[in-house]
């Protein structure tokens, strides 16, 4: 049956509800904003009027039977999935639901080590055992790449009892693995394929971009609608392929997702899905064009390198997301995070992130050519004013970890705190990462080496926002006894 993508069932139900002028003797306690004047003045009457609780006319996110159910069906139709769930805990919640649905305690899951912390958090919750495929590394850019099909095949043969394979589609930098080849290989060996598509919402609406997980035949995909899809922060989707039990996955989601689903987040998903279904192709054509223009201009400045599909090697870089404006900064003698700070502090430009050698400027339909020109001129001026010799700079983002115990065993194991400088050789029991992107430098269960410690101290010195450990100053680390 052809569904009408013009429909926005949650949005429509909320508008009808507003017209009824129902007197609220339920939660939330601000009572459509009347009880919190400051909040109402800040967010506005329209927002507070639809910050409501589940009720019969508005359905229930945990057990949808009417308008939310219809919104989910429209999501599945728009994304070419068998089923779609509205997620109000961000893509973190969607990634964790995928892993928890695929793996029980003791089960193996194959994944690249450059996964978002949410995937490793899911291993702590589930007790599943990770089998890491070390991604390729681009020595010039210093970034982790995708999974090699040949390397993955070797890992599958060594671990035929693994239940699932998790794939980044794409990485934060825009790098794509051969997800179709991975899916065919996984299914041949009876394994599920889970795709972290936090940065790949747009793949579903533009045939000039890399293949989406659902089109590649993956079993589950976590989608950050709030990143490139236009919905409110924290609103995401979980998509299922035809061979996954929808009822069981909903039970898994309901283990951790709130029973008070935000109608602000859900309606933003509803509206954004309609917008992408009807106009996505035009939207992302514009985004591609803006990113291409930006790359051309930046590469003419000198020393910066804004990279794209020329990196493709049909292996660890099977494809590239050309909407990503990833820029290597090492040749101007500045770490990415230093350029990030200068752009914000000196030029009033906020980009997505900076790390040791790269920055990412997130481009969307909301950007204009003059915004790109302002970014380009700021980068040119930073080069002119701050360029220095790159000698002594750390030039790699990714270090292969030495895994000694599972994340769950390490996280819940007996531990003690040591000064970070005395931690070499010990097994870490917590996370250390730069955020964003939120990919752990150290995860629970991994041995602390001199290379890793040097990286952490260098990243701290350069101004990376380090997160994860119990000690907020990151002067001490918890290690296993």
In sequence order, the 6+-apart residues with CB closer than 8 A to the CB of 443 are 117, 120, 401, 407, 428, 431
Least Cα distance to 273 among 441, 78, 444 occurs for 78
From first CA to last CA, the distance across the chain in angstroms is 60
- Token pair 């996984």 is at which residue? 186
Q: Which residues of the chain have pLDDT under 70?
A: 1
**The pLDDT value given to residue 155:** 97
**The pLDDT value given to residue 396:** 76
State the architecture of 280-386 in CATH terms.
Answer: Alpha-Beta Complex (3.90)
Q: For 298-395, where are the E strands, in sequence order?
A: 305-306, 319-320, 325-328, 353-354, 358-361
Three-state DSSP at 4 gives: coil
How does pLDDT run across 154-169, given as a tens digit for each residue?
A: 999 999 999 999 999 9
Joined together, the tokens standing for residue 354 give: 């900076």
DSSP string, 233-246: TT-EEEEE-TTS-H
**The pLDDT value given to residue 36:** 95
What are the Cα distances from residue 214, in Å, to 179, 207, 314, 455?
Answer: 10, 13, 20, 37
Three-state DSSP at 466 gives: strand
How does pLDDT run across 369-381, given as a tens digit for each residue?
A: 999 999 999 999 9
- CATH code given to domain 407-480: 3.90.100.10
Report the alpha-carbon distance of residue 66 to residue 107 in Å, rounded.
36
Domains 280-386 and 407-480 are alike in CATH topology: no
User: How do the domains of the chain map onto residue ranges?
Assistant: 280-386, 407-480
């Amino acid at each position: 049956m052809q569904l009408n993508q013009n429909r926005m069932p949650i949005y429509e139900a909320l508008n009808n509800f507003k017209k009824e002028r129902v007197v609220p003797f339920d939660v939330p306690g601000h009572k459509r904003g009347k009880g919190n004047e400051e909040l109402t003045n800040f967010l506005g009457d329209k927002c507070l009027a639809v910050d409501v609780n589940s009720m019969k006319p508005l359905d229930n996110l945990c057990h949808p039977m009417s308008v939310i159910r219809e919104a989910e069906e429209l999501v599945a139709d728009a994304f070419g999935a068998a089923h779609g769930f509205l997620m109000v805990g961000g893509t973190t919640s969607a990634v964790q639901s995928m892993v928890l649905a695929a793996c029980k305690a003791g089960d193996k899951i194959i994944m690249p080590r450059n996964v978002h912390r949410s995937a490793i958090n899911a291993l702590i919750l589930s007790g599943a055992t990770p089998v890491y495929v070390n991604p390729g590394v681009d020595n010039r850019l210093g970034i982790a790449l995708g999974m090699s099909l040949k390397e993955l095949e070797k890992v599958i043969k060594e671990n035929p009892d693994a239940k699932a394979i998790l794939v980044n589609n794409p990485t934060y930098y825009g790098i794509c693995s051969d997800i179709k080849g991975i899916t065919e290989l996984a299914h041949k060996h009876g394994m599920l394929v889970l795709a972290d598509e936090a940065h790949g919402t747009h793949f579903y609406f533009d045939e000039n971009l890399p293949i989406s997980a659902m089109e590649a035949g993956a079993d589950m995909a976590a989608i950050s609608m709030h990143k490139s899809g236009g919905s409110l922060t924290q609103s995401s989707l979980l998509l299922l392929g035809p061979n996954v039990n929808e009822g069981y996955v909903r039970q898994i989601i309901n283990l951790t997702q709130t029973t008070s689903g935000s109608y602000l987040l859900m309606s933003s998903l509803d509206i954004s899905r309609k917008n992408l279904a009807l106009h996505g192709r035009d939207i992302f054509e514009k985004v591609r064009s803006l990113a291409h223009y930006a790359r051309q201009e930046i590469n003419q400045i000198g020393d910066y390198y804004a990279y794209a599909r020329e990196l493709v090697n049909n292996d660890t870089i099977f494809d590239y997301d050309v909407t990503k404006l990833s820029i290597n900064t090492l040749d101007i003698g500045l770490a990415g995070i230093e350029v990030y700070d200068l752009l914000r502090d000196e030029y009033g430009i906020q980009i997505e992130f900076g790390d040791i050698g790269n920055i990412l400027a997130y481009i969307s339909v909301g950007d204009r050519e003059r915004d790109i020109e302002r970014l380009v001129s700021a980068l040119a001026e930073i080069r002119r004013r701050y360029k220095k010799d790159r000698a002594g700079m750390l030039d790699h983002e990714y270090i292969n970890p030495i895994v000694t115990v599972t994340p769950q065993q390490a996280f819940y194991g007996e531990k003690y705190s040591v000064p970070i400088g005395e931690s070499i050789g010990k097994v870490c029991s917590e996370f250390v990462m730069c955020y964003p992107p939120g990919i752990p430098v150290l995860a629970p269960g991994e041995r602390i080496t001199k290379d890793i410690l040097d990286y952490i101290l260098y990243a701290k010195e350069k101004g990376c926002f380090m997160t994860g450990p119990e000690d907020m100053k990151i002067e001490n680390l918890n290690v296993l006894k």
